[in-house]
Amino acid sequence: MTIGIITQARATSTRLPAKVLLTAAGRTYLEYHLERLVATGLPVIVATTTNVDDDPIVILTEKLGLPVFRGSEQDVLSRYAGAALQYGLDGVVRVTSDCPLIDSAVVAAGVDRWRAEDDPDLYLSNALERTYPRGMEYEVFSAARLLDADAKATLAVDREHVTPYLHQNRPGDVRLLNQPWSGGTPDGARYRLTLDTEDDRKLLTALIEEHDASRLDCAELVAILAAHPELVALNAHIQQKKLGE
């Protein structure tokens, strides 16, 4: 069974344009993100758009020796389905490129659990009930489930956000499993390690440039945040965008 990670990336983000191409300590956030995904040992595919604004994402990804799939900007579900088909995946790990410090071991453990369950109807995530900081999310599901959703989902919100149809709109037809954080502090979910706004960027830059965050795992990052409330305050006020916004 071929399981691969597909990460979505585009330059036309609204809150912080071209956010994944911004830099900290001389490297783009996309480079940090992809480096940590490659450390899982799984194939990594960047799913970007056909928009010319995303040419720099393609150039950077190919420079790193990783494959790219280009598809619709708004219909991200079709983009994921196309990537899974083109690269012959049986299982898909979905992540988003606004997670530059995603923990490779966290993702790999989720994939191991999904594989061990041996259930093609299983949807596994570490965000069904939040115990991890934002920026550590992943979802694992079969390519068959993804292609079924692509064939049947009609609502714009389902197509833009990829997985709502797959795990919410098929009651009794899919098994949901949450993978909680077993080794960390119980309040890990209150922290933001995602890149969506300028204040998120300030926190991530401080962590990377002052605390060598690109070398740290999730527990070590949370320990730094717990010890430095002034860092947490940089983006504590940011409200996560809801589906459809």
pLDDT in tens, 103-153: 999 999 999 999 999 999 999 999 999 999 999 999 999 999 999 999 999
pLDDT one-digit tens code per residue, 23-48: 999 999 999 999 999 999 999 999 99
- Spatial contact of 8 and 47, defined as CB atoms under 8 Å apart: yes
The answer to whether the beta carbons of residues 17 and 56 sit under 8 Å apart is no
Q: Look up residue 221 and give its amino acid.
A: L
Q: According to DSSP H, which parts of 118-217 are helical?
A: 143-152, 156-160, 164-168, 198-211
Q: Each residue of 183-240: pLDDT tens digit?
A: 655 578 999 999 999 999 999 999 999 999 999 999 999 999 999 999 999 999 997 6
Other beta carbons less than 10 A from residue 193's beta carbon: 26
CATH class of 3-187: alpha beta
Distance CA 237, CA 13 (A): 20
Q: What are the residue boundaries of the structural domains of the chain, listed by start? A: 3-187
Rounded to the nearest angstrom, the gap between the alpha carbon of residue 1 and the centroid of all alpha carbons in its chain is 22
pLDDT of 168 reads 79
Q: Under a CB-based contact definition with an 8 Å cutoff, are residues 202 and 231 in contact?
A: no
pTM above 0.85, yes or no: yes
Q: Write the pLDDT tens digit of every residue in 169-178.
A: 655 688 999 9
* Contacts of residue 5, Cβ cutoff 8 Å, sequence gap at least 6: 37, 40, 42, 43, 44, 45, 93, 94, 95, 107
In whole angstroms, give the CA distance from residue 83 to residue 102.
21
